[in-house]
Amino acid sequence: MPDKLTLALPAGSLQDSTLDLLRHAGWDVHSPARSYYPSINDPEIECILIRPQEMSRYVEQGALDAGITGRDWVMENGSDVHVVQELVYAKRQMTPVRWVLAVPENSPVNSVEDLEGKRIATELVGGVTAWLEEKGVKAEVEFSWGATEVKAPDLVDAIVDITETGSSLRANKLRIVDTVLESVTQLIANRSAWKDKAKRAKLEALGMMLQGAIVAREKVGLKMNVAKDDLEAVIGKLPAMRRPTVSELAEPGWFAIETMIDESVARSLIPELKRLGAEGLIEYPLNKVIF
Secondary structure (DSSP) of 129-162: HHHHHHHT---EEEE--S-GGGGTTTT-SEEEEE
Question: Is the separation of the CB atoms in 102 and 175 below 8 Å?
Answer: yes
CA 20, 24, 28: angle at the middle one, nearest 5? 70
- pTM for the full predicted model: 0.86
What contacts 254, CB < 8 A, 6 or more positions away? 225, 226, 227, 228, 248
| Mean pLDDT in residue range 153-160 | 93
d(CA 201, CA 210): 14
On the question of pLDDT at 38 being above 60, the answer is yes
Tell me the domains of the chain and their CATH numbers. Answer: 5-94+185-216 (3.40.190.10), 97-182 (3.40.190.10), 219-285 (3.30.70.120)
Q: Phi and psi for 175 in degrees, rounded to 5?
A: -120, 145
Q: What is the pLDDT of residues 194-249, one digit of tens each?
A: 999 999 999 999 999 999 999 999 999 999 999 999 999 999 999 855 679 999 99
What does R_g of the chain's alpha carbons equal in angstroms?
Answer: 24
Question: Is the separation of the CB atoms in 284 and 252 below 8 Å?
Answer: no
